[in-house]
Homo-oligomer: A and B are copies of this chain.
């Protein structure tokens, strides 16, 4: 099995975009970096989308991930929130695609099932499993960062599974 594959997980939002970068070492996920991109909320939306794009590109340049993963979310019932979320997703997607990173998309239930075993697991349990998978005893990252790490770990697991099953 290949070693050292680095994956960038993203949890986009117009205010806060979480990121989590993990490396696969001998089938285990290892933390590379995690955190949040906070957009300048007083600026106009286009400026904020440019900000997200630039920061994601910086992360890619610094950590050289080979692949990216994003939640294929849809929770909002409000078209206006959906439009905003879509904008942040579009900026993230453009940053990854223009860096030639293939991007996996996963439903929220898929991410939960992958990490915890059930699709309706509570957020706290997903956060616990994220820290456990990475071998971190006392995680000190915010929720958006944890969500992004969950997506990155899910992507690594799914990828490994596809290789093992030859699918």
Q: Which residues of chain A have a CB within 8 Å of any CB of chain B?
A: 44-54, 68, 70, 74, 76-98, 102-103, 105
Contact = CB atoms under 8 A, between A and B. Distances in A.
- Work out how many copies of this chain go into the complex: 2
A72 to B, nearest CB: 9
Contact of A89 (B44, B70, B78, B87): B87
A95 B94 contact: yes
Contact of A90 (B81, B94, B105): B94
A76 B88 CA distance: 18
Contacts of A77: 79
A49 B85 contact: no
A86 B76 contact: no
15 contacts: A44-B103, A45-B93, A46-B68, A49-B90, A50-B93, A50-B96, A50-B98, A51-B97, A54-B98, A79-B81, A79-B82, A86-B90, A87-B89, A90-B91, A90-B94
